Amino acid sequence: MGIGVLHEVSTDELRLRLVADETVVGRLRARQMETIRELDRRQTAPADGCGSLAEWVAGRVDMAPETAQKLVTTAEALGRLAYVADALADGATTYDRAAEIARIATACDELEILVGSYDFDIAGLRRQTARRNRVTRRDEEQAFSERYLSVQPTLDGMSWRIHGRLTGAAGVIVTEALTARAEGFGVFPDGTRAPPVATSRRRPGGDLSGHWNPGWGFGWVGDGVCRRHRGLHHERRVGCGGGWRSPGRAAHARSGPL
């Protein structure tokens, strides 16, 4: 469509065209990243004498080094994030949004983060991911691999000691289960109720950070409101639980309902 023809198009149509073109860009980026992952699998860059895949892409595509690095990094991440990759390929999200989500998401929380990200524009999403990135992906993987839960009764059975280390997602599950059980006790003879399970849902400043905000995987708490997408995330969090303790950790987990 030439410039002369554009003068005859309404403003609303131009807006729609701009959005549609960005959708096309996202789909093409998704296809590029699929190609990059396959080229990486074939070890094409080292075979051609390049020090990195980003360097190889920059030279082949005539792309700025920083643009190539972002594309390669995002391609690598989306290889593990099926929901985000599909959303980009289907035109349901943009490349810039997918790239920001890819910086922090894991296979267990990508859907929750994708849904919650639409509460922010790209600039706001970048601020949130910058805060979240104070904790590295390696830190998150370590927290997941070292999780355990130990429930130890005393010899006389009069008291129990519970301790462990859980990921944010697992901590939410345990907290909600204990809270629900406590609420089921009703009113005690002295007129009191079981105290609620004490948790900290929000770090000062209202950011959406994973390790110090147990609600990250299950809702965005930036404004103090936990937006839970129960129908979306429940299946994912159960599928990624994998157990309550890591290999080599002694744990005496009680089976059955709490």
Question: Residues 31-51: pLDDT tens digits?
Answer: 999 999 999 999 999 999 998
Residues 153 and 82 in one domain: no
Instruction: Give the pTM.
Output: 0.53
Alpha helices in 53-134 (DSSP H): 53-61, 65-78, 82-89, 95-102, 110-117, 122-132
- In a domain? residue 252: no
Question: Hey, what amino acid is at 103?
Answer: R
My answer on whether 15 and 75 are in the same domain is: yes
Residue-number span of the structural domain to which 229 is assigned? 145-239
CA distances from 37 to 11, 40, 76, 163 (A): 39, 5, 7, 42
Distance between CA 218 and CA 169 in Å, rounded?
7
Return the half-sphere exposure (C-beta side, CA atoms, 13 A cut-off) of residue 216. 27
* 233 — pLDDT class (breaks 50, 70, 90): very low
- Which of 77, 102, 127 is a domain's end point? 102
Confidence band, pLDDT 50/70/90 cuts, at residue 168: confident
153 and 82 in a common domain: no
Phi, psi for 218 (deg, rounded to 5): -130, 15
Number of domains making up the chain: 2
* Same domain assignment for residues 7 and 97: yes
